[in-house]
């Protein structure tokens, strides 16, 4: 394991867990575009999933009393339906093609969130559909949060309830995703070692983010995160196009 790669993982884990501690989402959105530049796509998705799981466990303990359980349950069922499709994409799509898809997905999601796009439809079918889309993204790119964020914001959840639903939904999804990865044999030794290296940064970042959550405007912080994500994702897209063209 290169020292430079480990240093990037630590820095990204700190930033991503800090953002998640504040907003209850954003770990994969921030970390995937960064890590995909120094790791292959499969290891990136696995490392991010392992570190995100640790961050979500920490957050879940802090927001447990604010969870809207029916919403979490419906979204999770939909996610389970989408996860096998995402895993098929991860296993079958060539690495450079998947790297480009990850970058484009990050740009699209960041742009949609920054533009204020919301899912305003209601009902069981909508929640199952949103969950299914999130599940596909979870096992193919590890970026499962944006569809859920758009839906919850569109429903007008209060901040604490929003954080509670996001934390528990992402935690449940991460547990299933990591189990699927182990069963499918996509978890490498290097990915596990890198995740272990990043764990202390996750603890520090998540704790700091939770402390900041009640002291800063989360909307402003989220806009900064989205801008950073957009710049990183565009860089990743350019790199992927260059690789595919050569």
Q: What is the pLDDT of residues 225-235, one digit of tens each?
A: 677 667 666 76
Q: Which domain holds residue 28?
A: 3-245
Q: What is the pLDDT of residue 74?
A: 92
Over residues 152-167, the mean pLDDT reads 74
Tell me the Ramachandran region of residue 123: left when phi exceeds 0, alpha when psi lies from -120 to 50, beta otherwise.
left
Give the CA distances from residue 70 to residues 78, 99, 133, in Å, rounded to whole numbers and listed in that order. 13, 35, 18
| CA count, 13 A, side-chain hemisphere, 176 | 23
**Cα dist. 130→99, 109, 151, 159 in Å?**
23, 14, 7, 20
- What letter does residue 39 receive in the DSSP assignment? S
Nearest 5°: the CA angle 94, 100, 101 is 85
pLDDT of residue 198: 95
Checking if the pLDDT of 26 tops 70, the result is yes
The confidence score (pLDDT) of residue 242 equals 62
Q: What is the mean pLDDT of residues 35-64?
A: 89
Question: What percent of the chain has pLDDT above 70?
Answer: 81
Phi-psi region of 33 (alpha: psi -120 to 50; beta: other; left: phi over 0): alpha
Number of domains in the chain: 1
pTM to 2 decimal places? 0.74
pLDDT at 30: 82
């Amino acid at each position: 394991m290169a020292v430079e790669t480990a240093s990037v993982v630590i820095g990204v884990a700190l930033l991503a867990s800090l953002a998640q501690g504040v907003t209850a989402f954003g770990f994969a959105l921030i970390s995937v575009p960064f890590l995909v530049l120094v790791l292959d796509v499969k290891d990136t998705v696995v490392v991010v999933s392992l570190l995100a799981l640790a961050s979500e466990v920490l957050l879940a303990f802090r927001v447990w009393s604010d969870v809207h359980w029916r919403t979490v349950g419906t979204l999770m069922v939909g996610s389970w339906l989408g996860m096998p499709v995402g895993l098929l994409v991860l296993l079958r799509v060539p690495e450079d093609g998947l790297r480009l898809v990850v970058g484009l997905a990050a740009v699209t999601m960041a742009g949609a969130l920054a533009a204020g796009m919301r899912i305003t439809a209601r009902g069981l079918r909508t929640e199952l559909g949103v969950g299914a889309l999130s599940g596909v993204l979870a096992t193919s790119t590890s970026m499962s949060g944006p569809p859920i964020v758009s839906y919850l914001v569109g429903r007008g959840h209060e901040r604490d309830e929003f954080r509670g639903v996001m934390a528990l939904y992402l935690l449940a999804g991460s547990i299933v995703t990591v189990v699927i990865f182990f069963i499918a044999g996509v978890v490498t030794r290097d990915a596990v070692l890198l995740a272990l290296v990043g764990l202390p940064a996750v603890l520090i970042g998540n704790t700091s983010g939770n402390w900041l959550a009640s002291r800063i405007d989360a909307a402003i912080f989220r806009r900064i995160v989205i801008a950073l994500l957009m710049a990183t994702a565009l860089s990743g897209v350019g790199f992927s196009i260059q690789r595919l063209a050569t």
